[in-house]
Structure 1
Amino acid sequence: MIARSILLLSWGLLVSAQSKSRAFFVFSDSLFNNGNYNFLATTARADAPPYGIDYPTHRPTGLFSNGLNIPDIISEQIGSEPTLPYLSPELKGNKLLIGANFASAGIGILNDTGFQFVS
């Protein structure tokens, strides 16, 4: 019964996501980061090979992965454009209505987490 309820809930969310446009906001760590560090003065960078080798453009994008990440795939599945990094100067107007990605490499719950990345 529980599995059936979860399946129905998942199906309902999928149908709902496909029928209505909604903003998609991402809060996470480096697994979901889509280039926020491209806009910061930091040593934590993903803008050189081998990053991006499996991305559609085959070029580094700032993602801490070599291809699409989960938010990219979710955006594709709901028929939306990929979310932009929250620090991107392009994130304004209608682009903000799509959503934003606040994910950050080295993120943690403590104030000093990730301090080694900031110069």
Structure 2
Amino acid sequence: MCKDSSSCFLSLILGLVITLASVPPEVEARAFFVFGDSLVDNGNNNYLATTARADAPPYGVDYPTHRATGRFSNGFNIPDLISQAIGSEPTLPYLSPELRGEKLLVGANFASAGIGILNDTGIQFVIFIDR
């Protein structure tokens, strides 16, 4: 039994990653697209004018480069681990100038910290429609 919903969620994700890592791929991996918030953001917020930032220490201290990458973690995040488990390159942020050509065939990460489906969680991301 989980203590709260976030520990249940993390247990579910960890179980998924372990399962994916233990199953050998039978076919070549397909494109992997990521949607979500700061838990899976791998750098989109580096390209946005927002206060939600992960571009300075302690973020990235356990990442292979030991530098902040825009991931809201000290190392790899869940999409990185899933990419490793399926034998694929990590997805690039959809706002990255490097995401074109063959790199797009790997997939893309559309996650952004601070985003949400409720008005109070996504208030900083307002869409302006030009008529």
- RMSD, aligned CA: 2.2
Gaps of 5+ in 2: 1-18, 127-131
CA distance in 2, matches of 1:70, 1:58: 18
Runs (4+) of structure 1 exceeding 3 A deviation are: none
Aligned residue runs from structure 1 range 20-39, under 5 A = 20-39=28-47
Deviation by residue 1:73-115 (Cα, 9 ceiling, x = unmatched) = 1111111110000111111111111000011111211345333
CA distance in 2, matches of 1:42, 1:30: 13
CA distance in 2, matches of 1:50, 1:116: 24
| TM-score, structure 2 as length reference | 0.72
Is the 8 Å Cα contact of residues 43 and 117 (structure 1) preserved in structure 2? no
Is the 8 Å Cα contact of residues 29 and 107 (structure 1) preserved in structure 2? yes
CA distance in 1, matches of 2:122, 2:64: 29
**How many matched pairs?**
107
One-letter amino acid matched to 2:89? E
Percent identity of paired positions between Structure 1 and Structure 2? 76
Kindly indicate which of the two structures has a greater share of residues assigned to helix: 1
Is the 8 Å Cα contact of residues 115 and 125 (structure 2) preserved in structure 1? no
Task: Determine the structure 1 residue equivalent to 2:129.
Answer: none
Task: Determine the structure 2 residue equivalent to 1:108.
Answer: 116
Change in Cα spacing, 1:37 to 1:48, as seen in structure 2 (3 Å) is same
Aligned residue runs from structure 1 range 15-94, under 5 A = 15=24, 17-94=25-102
Deviation by residue 1:53-80 (Cα, 9 ceiling, x = unmatched) = 1111111000011110111011111111
